[in-house]
Amino acid sequence: MKRILSYNVNGIRSAIGKGLLDFLVTENPDIVCFQETKAQPGQMHEFDFNTLGYHSYAFSAQKLGYSGVAIFSKQVPDLVVYGMGNKKFDSEGRVIRADFGDVSVISVYFPSGTTGGIRQEYKMDFLFDFQNYLLELRKTRTKLIISGDFNICRLWIDIHNPEKQQNTSGFLPEERDWFANFIADGYVDSFREINSQAHQYSWWSYRANSRPNNKGWRIDYHMLTQNLKNNILNARILASVVHSDHCPVLVDMDI
């Protein structure tokens, strides 16, 4: 079994200060996909992670203290690829891939688009370019686990008060249409294979007591290629874990 955990930590150094390392000891994932590290390689307490048995691979944004993704793994990958070969997005440190045998694990941080205008256009461009990147990748790497913050609620049950959120970035009709098309391209939402209940969220605004009242969004996913669907053992959202405005999401795989 492989336990894969994905976590938008909203600053890895901040999360470590709130007990992230102790949490990893307890949960003991084999692979951790981080998003929004907000740090450069060498600034992520790599020695502490190494003490826990993790090898660290990070792809940071050119802008300091912004964005960034990483994969920390107890097994040394066969290959690590930084970025998706697109300077427009790679400059913001949004994609990193690690290959383990015939399975590739990708940590991805989708743009948010919440400021509207140019950033929403940038987000939409990323959605289509990332999907095309995966289509090309699947010609040689057929088994993919795509873990990260997609910044989109896929279904109506994935967001608090969906009726009033349809003009909000992250739940726009065109974003949900993209997600439906993405699923149709041959991917499985691992959590929804296990749990079909509403009110299962992975992100909460810092405003208006959103988290204590569970007024949240499910925007963090482990998406799998269809050929890994039968390998899912379990999938959970760890909503009680608090180091960030997100919480970790976990999938156990028979691989």
User: Which residue numbers are catalytic?
Assistant: 149
Q: For residue 144, give Cα distances in angstroms to 71, 99, 226.
A: 14, 9, 9
Contact of 96 with 85, CB cutoff 8 Å: no
User: Residue 88 corresponds to which tokens in the numbers above?
Assistant: 């427009």
Q: Residue 77 carries which DSSP code?
A: P
- What number of other Cβ atoms are within 10 A of residue 47's Cβ? 9
Phi, psi for residue 164 in degrees, rounded to 5:
-95, 0
Which one, of 1, 5, 2, 3, lies nearest residue 147 by Cα? 5
Q: Which pairs with CB-CB distance under 8 Å and at least 24 residues apart come from 61-65?
A: 61/91, 61/92, 61/93, 62/91, 62/92, 62/93, 63/92, 64/40, 65/38, 65/39
Token pair, residue 162, equals 């969906």
Query: For residue 249, what are the CA distances in angstroms to 38, 53, 186, 200?
Result: 20, 21, 21, 11
Contacts of 2 by beta carbon, 8 Å cutoff, 6+ apart? 30, 31, 252, 253, 255
φ, ψ at 66 (rounded to 5°): -140, 140
